Amino acid sequence: MSEAKWALIVSPTQPAQEAAEKLKPLIDWVPEEEADKAVVLGGDGFMLQTLHQMLNRRNIMPVYGMNLGTVGFLMNNWHMDDLSERLRKARAFKVKPLKMEVETISGAKFTLPAINEVSLLRETRQTAKLEIEINGRIMMEELVCDGVLIATPAGSTAYNLSANGPILPLTCNLLALTPISPFRPRRWKGAILPDKMEITIRVLNPEKRPVSAVGDQQEVRDVSCVKVAIDRAQSLTMLFDPEHALDDRIAMEQFVV
């Protein structure tokens, strides 16, 4: 078996650029278009940006991130020791993105991917009023809230956790449907759904109570309807040090106080 060809993808931030200069002599890096795997230097935001670019270009390769940002939940720790050996031993985790189909008040339609979550958020001081449908069945006729989000297991420790949503194990084949500051019904805490289900959210009175839809870092404003489901035609592979694996980190996050 031939050795992997590695590309180095670097955030424009100064710490990432300085780290890249230190790594360049350690491996025979190749241009991204010639590589079959990549090391990504930056933070979680840059990693999501890189993965989205791969989805858009259909040049999807396994990625090994090293944290030179703030949180770095999707990244391995930054250090230079035994890099080639660490890359060889890294564990692979498959992550399936969400597909968000959006229709706006004007009738415009968009299809966007989301790796962490899809969130619907009120655009003005007025609360959003949303209808929630699961697999063609209306489950909630009216949710009055600041918004709602649908999170993957990989994204369940991000915005979803801040909104008091559940942490999902990486291999659980579930999605978290989590309200953001629900006003009515006030005690509704959300739902955990099998990831084979399609979630449709309609905005009630969208002209008076406008809502935006955000797939990770991509926003569509003034939406009228959003459909969300796992995109089974796409798959991303993330690589982690065995002692720093994503499934372990997700499990341990439940004990952080």
Residue 165 counted as domain residue: yes
The whole-number pLDDT of residue 230 equals 97
Q: Residues comprising the binding site for NAD(+)?
A: 44-45, 116-117, 146, 154, 157-162, 218
pLDDT > 80? residue 58: no
- What is the token pair recorded at 178? 């989590």
> Which backbone phi and psi does 166 adopt, to 5 degrees?
-80, 150
Residue 81 counted as domain residue: yes
Q: Which domain holds residue 46?
A: 6-96+235-255
pLDDT > 90? residue 251: no
Question: Which residues are annotated as catalytic?
Answer: 44
Q: Residues comprising the binding site?
A: 44-45, 116-117, 146, 154, 157-162, 218
| Mean pLDDT, the chain, integer | 92
For residues 117 and 203, state if they share a domain. Answer: yes
Tokens 């360049």 found at: 24
pLDDT digits (tens, 9 = 90+) for 160-178: 999 999 999 888 899 999 9
- Collapsed DSSP state (helix, strand, coil) of residue 162: helix
Nearest to 231 by CA among 41, 30, 52, 1: 52
Report the distance separating Cα 149 and Cα 195, nearest Å. Answer: 14
Nearest to 48 by CA among 155, 166, 156: 155
pLDDT digits (tens, 9 = 90+) for 183-233: 999 889 999 999 999 999 999 999 999 999 999 989 999 999 999 999 999
The whole-number pLDDT of residue 229 equals 98
175: Cβ–Cβ under 8 A, 6 or more apart, which residues?
A: 150, 151, 152, 168, 192, 193, 194, 195, 197, 199, 230
C-alpha distances in angstroms, 196 versus 96, 124, 151, 188, 234?
12, 33, 14, 22, 14
pLDDT > 60? residue 1: no
Structural domain count of the chain? 2
The whole-number pLDDT of residue 78 equals 93
Specify the CATH number for the domain of residue 58.
3.40.50.10330
Q: pLDDT > 70: what percent of the chain?
A: 96
